[in-house]
């Protein structure tokens, strides 16, 4: 991807899944990476090993995004690791599956919004302020979900957080465009990761999902990484306030399986 070599990129939630896939692709593109994780130390060590084997320079930093008061210190540390940042990928998130009746007091709902919505809002704002102060452009990619567009049972908290993230993507793109800061979103479809690979690849489950996708298969974490690299690259210099859906055509078909 044009313009990515030596760019300094912070990826949140890089210890596994899509975040690890993003890190691998951006390492191949020659980026310098700040890799965030929360609890999965083994996973982040594997991600670090992978990106370094590809010749990328990388630093690791830990933070629990449920502790919102820690975000300012976290971002300041991340900014200093390579003497600034050129891009921010808000990938960290939690998938909450619960009916509203089971979460009547909204405890899981609030926790999900803290990690999936409030944390990206605060980190993006800190990134924009730092870029403006440094008089430099910047690029933000928010990892959303197709649940921000169409959802199903069990996903009140998760869908609300992703719909909100899509809205923030558009608003912040409008607010910061004059400063040369672009903000776009990525909306992945069904992508097996470590915690879902076994169940999604059961023959019955795979048939249920894949027959609803015109592409006929699941996505991969590296494909999400390629899409992220595209959004960070010079190829999308005139693209801001957009959400790129990459889901094998599932949303276009509009037919989720019944849960």
- Over the stretch 39-59, which tens digit does the pLDDT of each residue have? 999 999 999 999 999 999 999
Task: Please report, rounded to a whole number, the percentage of residues in the chain having pLDDT higher than 70.
Answer: 98
Q: How many Cβ atoms are within 10 Å of 49's Cβ, its own excluded?
A: 10
143 phi-psi bin (left φ>0, alpha ψ -120 to 50, beta other): beta
pLDDT category, 100, cuts 50, 70, 90? confident
- Label residue 233 exposed, middle or buried (CB < 10 Å: 0-12, 13-18, 19+): middle
What pLDDT is stored for residue 75 in this prediction? 98
What pLDDT is stored for residue 255 in this prediction? 67
178 phi-psi bin (left φ>0, alpha ψ -120 to 50, beta other): alpha
What pLDDT is stored for residue 259 in this prediction? 53
- Label residue 93 exposed, middle or buried (CB < 10 Å: 0-12, 13-18, 19+): buried
pTM: 0.95
- Over the stretch 112-145, which tens digit does the pLDDT of each residue have? 999 999 999 999 999 999 999 999 999 999 999 9
Q: Which of 37, 121, 158, 218 is catalytic?
A: 158
pLDDT category, 258, cuts 50, 70, 90? low
CA–CA separation, 200 vs 210, rounded Å?
Answer: 10
CA–CA separation, 110 vs 119, rounded Å?
Answer: 12
What pLDDT is stored for residue 254 in this prediction? 75
Query: Mean pLDDT, to the nearest integer, of 231-237?
Result: 98
Given a contact cutoff of 8 angstroms between Cβ atoms, the answer to whether 117 and 40 are in contact is no
Count the residues in the chain: 259
Question: What domains lie within the chain, and their CATH numbers?
Answer: 8-253 (3.40.50.720)
Asked whether the predicted pLDDT for residue 257 surpasses 70, the reply is no
Given a contact cutoff of 8 angstroms between Cβ atoms, the answer to whether 81 and 74 are in contact is no
Query: Mean pLDDT, to the nearest integer, of 54-79?
Result: 98
CA–CA separation, 255 vs 103, rounded Å?
Answer: 26
In the chain, the DSSP E strands lie at 8-11, 32-37, 58-62, 87-90, 138-143, 181-188, 243-246
- Of 164, 190, 18, 166, nearest to 91 by C-alpha is 18
Respond yes or no: is residue 37 known to be catalytic. no
Helix 71-81 to helix 119-134 angle (10° resolution) is 40
CA–CA separation, 149 vs 185, rounded Å?
Answer: 12
Asked whether the predicted pLDDT for residue 6 surpasses 70, the reply is yes
Task: Please report, rounded to a whole number, the percentage of residues in the chain having pLDDT higher than 90.
Answer: 90
């Amino acid at each position: 991807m044009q313009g990515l070599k030596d760019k300094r990129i912070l990826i949140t939630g890089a210890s596994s899944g899509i975040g690890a896939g993003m890190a691998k692709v951006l390492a191949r593109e020659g980026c310098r990476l700040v890799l965030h994780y929360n609890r999965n130390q083994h996973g982040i060590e594997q991600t670090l090993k992978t990106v370094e084997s590809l010749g990328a320079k990388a630093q690791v930093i830990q933070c629990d995004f449920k502790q919102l008061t820690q975000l300012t210190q976290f971002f300041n540390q991340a900014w200093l690791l390579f003497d600034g940042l050129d891009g921010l990928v808000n990938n960290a998130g939690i998938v909450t599956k619960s009916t509203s009746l089971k979460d009547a007091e909204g405890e899981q709902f609030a926790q999900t919004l803290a990690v999936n919505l409030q944390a990206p809002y605060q980190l993006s704002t800190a990134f924009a302020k730092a870029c403006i102060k440094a008089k430099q452009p910047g690029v933000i990619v928010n990892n959303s979900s197709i649940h921000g567009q169409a959802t199903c049972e069990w996903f009140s908290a998760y869908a609300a957080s992703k719909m909100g993230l899509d809205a923030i993507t558009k608003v912040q793109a409008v607010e910061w465009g004059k400063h040369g800061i672009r903000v776009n979103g990525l909306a992945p479809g069904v992508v097996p990761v470590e915690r879902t690979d076994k169940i999604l690849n059961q023959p019955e489950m795979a048939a249920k999902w894949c027959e609803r996708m015109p592409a006929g298969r699941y996505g991969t974490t590296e494909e999400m990484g390629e899409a992220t690299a595209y959004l960070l690259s010079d190829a999308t210099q005139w693209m801001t306030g957009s959400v790129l859906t990459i889901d094998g055509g599932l949303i276009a078909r509009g037919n989720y399986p019944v849960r």
